[in-house]
């Protein structure tokens, strides 16, 4: 029996890596609950189903024109039907933009609990205990889910994917019945932003600027420091959303993943979405005036101070060293 259903996310013809993380978490959870785990692939092709079958014992593959691209409503209907048909106890989706769209509405449709930003699970006598992040990952809380089913939204870059090699079975599932009624929303197109030629993923030194920089004018000394260091400027999402830096410079789960020799995080709190994009850097230096900022838990070196004081001081030191 597949008590744990894990949704496979794909976009532009490719399975997203986060799906393999969720699949590994789902298999572990299924073991804990003494049940089976199945990957659920909506849309996609045989190759995607086969790669999922390399990582889990069962893949449920549903193909339909309304499932070809992500549509929370179509996905929700199909998942509700699957949960009821299979008597599943857990639906695990990634806490991504897709998952954030789907998870809560799926829980409403199933009339069950939803736990977002889930980072760990444990079975207890009273039910399932789910550990989740709070306050931009500054705290963790254990939530008891006494009754199943439950929708879990797993944190990205938190679970290690399993190596492929399982040799699972692919089962075709026909969703036509549940998609017969018209949907209220439909997928039209996915537009990629125009490429400006900046590639932060190739840089050896990256300076990441966060909301702590406060205003665009404060980027001037940061740019000067970047120039002195031969670094490329990048930013957290709020800085990109404010239009202070180009979208191509966004680091994180909905931006780019960088693995430079040195990453300097200036005024970045260290949300898991940001950390997902820079934790692979060889050396991380964080500057933040809050000593409890989560960024310090991934940083190799930390400076607890105002970045507007630290940045000019660093630049001056570099100039002294050069002369």
Ligand X SMILES: Cc1cc2nc3c(=O)[nH]c(=O)nc-3n(C[C@H](O)[C@H](O)[C@H](O)COP(=O)(O)OP(=O)(O)OC[C@H]3O[C@@H](n4cnc5c(N)ncnc54)[C@H](O)[C@@H]3O)c2cc1C
Q: Which residues are annotated as a binding site for FAD?
A: 211, 236-237, 250-254, 267-274, 288
Within 134-193, the residues that bind ligand X by CB under 6 A are: 136
Of 96-104, 123-131, 193-201, 311-319, the segment contacting ligand X by CB under 6 A is 96-104
> What is the distance between the alpha carbons of residues 289 and 287, in angstroms, rounded to a whole number?
7
* Per rule CB under 6 A, count of chain residues that contact ligand X: 31
> What is the distance between the alpha carbons of residues 208 and 176, in angstroms, rounded to a whole number?
47
> What is the distance between the alpha carbons of residues 101 and 80, in angstroms, rounded to a whole number?
15
- Beta bridge pairs of residue 37: 4
Lay out the site mask for ligand X across 24-43 (x = CB under 6 A, - = otherwise): --------------------
Of 35-43, 111-119, 164-172, 252-260, the segment contacting ligand X by CB under 6 A is 252-260
Decide: is 212 part of the binding site for ligand X (CB under 6 A): yes
Among 280, 290, 298, 312, binds ligand X (CB under 6 A): 290
Of 12-20, 50-58, 73-81, 206-214, the segment contacting ligand X by CB under 6 A is 206-214
Decide: is 255 part of the binding site for ligand X (CB under 6 A): yes
Of 164-172, 179-187, 193-201, 305-313, the segment contacting ligand X by CB under 6 A is 305-313
Considering the complex, what minimum distance in angstroms separates the CB of residue 90 from ligand X? 21
Using alpha carbons, list the distances in angstroms from residue 182 to 42, 77, 185, 257, 292.
18, 11, 9, 38, 50
Q: What is the phi/psi pair of residue 284, to 5°?
A: -120, 125
Residue among 203, 254, 251, 250 nearest 229 (CA): 203
Among 33, 81, 148, 308, binds ligand X (CB under 6 A): 308
Considering the complex, what minimum distance in angstroms separates the CB of residue 269 from ligand X? 3
Considering the complex, what minimum distance in angstroms separates the CB of residue 179 from ligand X? 26
Answer whether 177's CB lies under 8 Å from 229's CB: no
Cβ distance to ligand X smaller for residue 122 or 242: 242
Among 27, 132, 155, 237, binds ligand X (CB under 6 A): 237
Decide: is 267 part of the binding site for ligand X (CB under 6 A): yes
Of 21-29, 47-55, 194-202, 231-239, the segment contacting ligand X by CB under 6 A is 231-239
Taking phi over 0 as left and psi of -120 to 50 as alpha, with beta for the rest, 270 belongs to left
Considering the complex, what minimum distance in angstroms separates the CB of residue 274 from ligand X? 3
Which tokens is 87 given? Answer: 């008597």
Q: Which residue is nearest to ligand X (CB)?
A: 252
Decide: is 289 part of the binding site for ligand X (CB under 6 A): yes
Decide: is 306 part of the binding site for ligand X (CB under 6 A): yes
Binding residues vs ligand X (CB under 6 A): 96-97, 100, 136, 210-212, 236-238, 250-255, 267-269, 271, 273-274, 277, 287-290, 293, 306-308
């Amino acid at each position: 029996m597949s008590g744990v259903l894990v949704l496979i996310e794909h976009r532009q013809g490719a399975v997203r890596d986060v799906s393999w993380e969720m699949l590994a978490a789902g298999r572990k959870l299924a073991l804990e609950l003494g049940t089976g785990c199945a990957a659920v692939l909506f849309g996609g092709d045989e190759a995607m189903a086969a790669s999922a079958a390399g990582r889990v014992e069962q893949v449920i593959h549903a193909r339909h024109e309304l499932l070809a691209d992500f549509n929370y409503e179509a996905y929700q209907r199909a998942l509700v039907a699957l949960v009821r048909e299979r008597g599943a106890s857990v639906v695990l989706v990634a806490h991504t933009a897709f998952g954030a769209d789907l998870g809560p509405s799926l829980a409403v449709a199933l009339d069950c609990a939803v736990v977002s930003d889930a980072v760990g699970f444990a079975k207890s006598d009273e039910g399932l205990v789910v550990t989740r992040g709070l306050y931009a990952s500054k705290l963790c809380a254990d939530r008891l889910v006494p009754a199943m089913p439950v929708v879990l939204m797993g944190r990205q870059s938190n679970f290690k994917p399993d190596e492929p090699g399982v040799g699972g079975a692919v089962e075709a599932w026909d969703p036509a019945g549940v998609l017969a009624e018209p949907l209220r929303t439909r997928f039209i197109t996915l537009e990629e932003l125009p490429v400006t030629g900046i590639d932060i993923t190739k840089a050896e030194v990256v300076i990441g600027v966060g909301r702590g920089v406060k205003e665009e004018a404060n980027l001037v000394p940061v740019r000067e420091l970047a120039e002195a260091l031969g670094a490329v400027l990048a930013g957290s999402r709020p800085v990109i959303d404010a239009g202070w830096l180009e979208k191509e410079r966004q680091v994180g789960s909905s931006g780019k993943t960088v693995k430079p020799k040195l990453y300097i995080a200036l005024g970045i709190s260290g949300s898991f979405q940001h950390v997902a994009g820079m934790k692979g850097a060889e050396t991380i230096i964080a500057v933040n005036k809050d000593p409890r900022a989560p960024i310090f838990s991934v940083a190799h070196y930390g400076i607890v101070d105002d970045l507007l004081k630290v940045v000019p001081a660093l630049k001056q030191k570099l100039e002294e060293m050069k002369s």
